[in-house]
Homo-oligomer: A and B are copies of this chain.
């Protein structure tokens, strides 16, 4: 723990990263993770791999595909910060949208779990009144957010 440079066996890496061994080997196979050194055939990792795995994991969870991550970490060509900037430009809006949607769904769950709707789509927060009463500004906004404006457009 203090001397972080003693090399780690794959099992140890897996344990610390919270992943299976097979998953780590899979990442190596598919070029996401560099081939580590070996000692008598066995992979020995240095502790940096934990950071790499954590990045992979976090990126995946917010919707990057393994291809994108591979490109991010290992991309050929250009200086890395350049590719990174490109990727950032492409992905930032998506991430923002994800955050917005997540916030809306969060809100929906929180609010609906206090209402007595019989089915979720009948929840007063989401159903178009179809009659004259229009929904409140805030609710309309929530709805627009969760629906991504799709059903709001003509």
Question: Taking beta carbons and an 8 Å cutoff, which residues of A are in contact with B?
Answer: 1, 4-5, 16-18, 47-48, 50-55, 57-59, 61-62, 72-73, 79-81, 84-85, 87-89, 91-92, 95-96, 98-99, 101-106, 109-110, 112-121, 126-128, 130, 146-148, 150-151, 153-154
Given A79-B116, A85-B113, output 5 extra A-B contacts at Cβ < 8 Å: A50-B150, A58-B104, A80-B117, A85-B114, A92-B109
Contacts of A150 in B (CB 8 A): 16-18, 50, 54, 57
Q: Is the CB of B51 within 8 A of A121?
A: yes
Copies per complex of this chain: 2
Neighbour of A62 across the interface among B91, B105, B120, CB < 8 A? B105
**Nearest 5 CB-CB pairings of A with B:** A54-B147, A50-B151, A85-B113, A88-B113, A88-B109
Alpha-carbon gap, A103 to B102, bound state (A)? 11
Are A105 and B59 also in contact (CB < 8 A) when A48-B128, A110-B88, A146-B54 are?
A: yes
Across the interface, do B87 and A151 meet the contact criterion of CB distance under 8 Å? no
Q: Closest residue of chain B to A126, judged by CB?
A: B51
Interface centre among A1, A72, A85, A150, by most chain B C-beta atoms within 10 angstroms, is: A150
CB-CB nearest in chain B for A115: B81
Residue pair A95, B84 in contact (C-beta under 8 Å): no
Query: Which residues of B are found within 8 Å of A99, using beta-carbon distances?
Result: 99, 102-103, 106
Q: Are B126 and A109 in contact (CB under 8 A)?
A: no
CB distance from A10 to the nearest CB of B (A): 16
Listed by A's residue number, 30 A-B pairs whose Cβ atoms lie within 8 Å are: A16-B150, A48-B127, A50-B147, A51-B126, A51-B127, A51-B128, A53-B151, A54-B151, A57-B148, A57-B150, A58-B101, A58-B146, A61-B98, A61-B101, A62-B105, A72-B120, A73-B120, A79-B116, A80-B117, A80-B119, A81-B113, A81-B114, A81-B115, A84-B117, A84-B120, A88-B112, A91-B109, A92-B106, A99-B99, A102-B102
